[in-house]
Amino acid sequence: MTFGVEADEPEAHRQLDRFLEAGGTLVDTANTYGAGGSEEIIGRWFASRPAEVTGRVVLATKGRFPLDDAPNGSGLSARHLTRALDASLRRLGLDGVDLYQAHAFDPWTPLEETLRTLDGFVQAGKARYYGLSNFTGWQLTKAVHLARAMNIAGPVTLQPQYSLLVREIEWEIVPAAVDAGVGLLPWSPLGGGWLSGKYQRDTRPAGATRLGEEPGRGMEAYDRRGTERTWRVIDAVRKIAAARGVTMAEIALAWVTDRPAVSSTILGARSTDQLEANLRAADLHLTAAESAELDAASDPAPPDYPYGEMGAEQRSRSLAGGR
């Protein structure tokens, strides 16, 4: 998402080269990133590198949101998705992608139409697999079982926001993914940079950081996310990072990467230096005690029912065969 917006083309190509050199494979983009610019940058990287290098890449992109104000220019309809994927392939300069993802649920289009269209992309070779992004638990479950009922290819991945600061997906989405055998690809695993330790309590962001440049930026805005719980989580991450002699980002990434159903973690680096720091987390695994400490600090404290203490007890009875 940073390519063409926060990282220019030479920097983006350096990141891609370094990522593959480090053993990385999954490159995730979307047609809306940089208004198509990210796909174009990646496409030119593919064109300028040997096939034995680019052949290791598992390339993923997404469609759903508009790039202009044209009528019917958004959503998950057959018309829009077909045009969106064809345009993505032109920007990428490729005949197909490995993973094509519905960027968000579309309440206006019958899910049968969307799934039939995505299966058609697989049958035509435009996409090897398809996945979903930002779907809720019931939406994911409906898609999985509807695809089975229609006897067509089903989704293989779900890309949700997931970090120590955003754990609510554990209530329904993670169990739904585990049940369906769908792999999670968490985005924003550092909470928009918060878990890297770059922001301080009672000190508004400034300088060349995302919130320094745009303090009111979306759900990671300083006034929205700077809660007591956030600072409690940051303090816990800082403590464990100091004891381990590693960066806070490495601890936060290690936590999310080892969670149930997580297949890969989406990194959004502004620079190669940031990427280097994030890559170090690949070899880091937390102890049970460290994970428990982070879990306790980041507990989103759900209400008693159905996700809190009483709900957990009831789910335990159900798993044990009681009622």
Q: What counts of helices (H) and strands (E) characterise the chain?
A: 14, 6
Instruction: Based on the residue annotation, tell me whether 33 is a catalytic residue of this protein.
Output: yes
Sign, Cα dihedral of 26, 32, 33, 39: positive
The dihedrals phi and psi of 265, each to the nearest 5 degrees, come to -120, 130
Taking the C-alpha atoms of residue 65 and residue 80, their distance in angstroms, rounded to an integer, is 9
- On whether the CB atoms of residues 12 and 1 are closer than 8 A, the answer is no
Q: How many residues does the chain have?
A: 323
Q: Specify the amino acid at residue 1.
A: M
- Torsion over CA of 31, 188, 116 and 181, rounded to 10 degrees? 150
The token pair that represents 273 in the structure block: 């230096």
Q: Which residues make Cβ contacts (< 8 Å) with residue 93, sequence separation at least 6?
A: 43, 44, 46, 47
Q: Which residues make Cβ contacts (< 8 Å) with residue 92, sequence separation at least 6?
A: 39, 40, 42, 43, 46, 59, 61
Taking the C-alpha atoms of residue 292 and residue 298, their distance in angstroms, rounded to an integer, is 10
Identify the residue whose tokens are 């993670």. Answer: 174
Helix (H) or strand (E) segment spanning residue 63: strand 58-63
Identify the residue whose tokens are 């058609």. Answer: 120
The token pair that represents 63 in the structure block: 């469609």
Taking the C-alpha atoms of residue 316 and residue 190, their distance in angstroms, rounded to an integer, is 31
Catalytic residue among 33, 100, 129, 162: 33
Identify the residue whose tokens are 């995302």. Answer: 210
Residues serving a catalytic function are 33
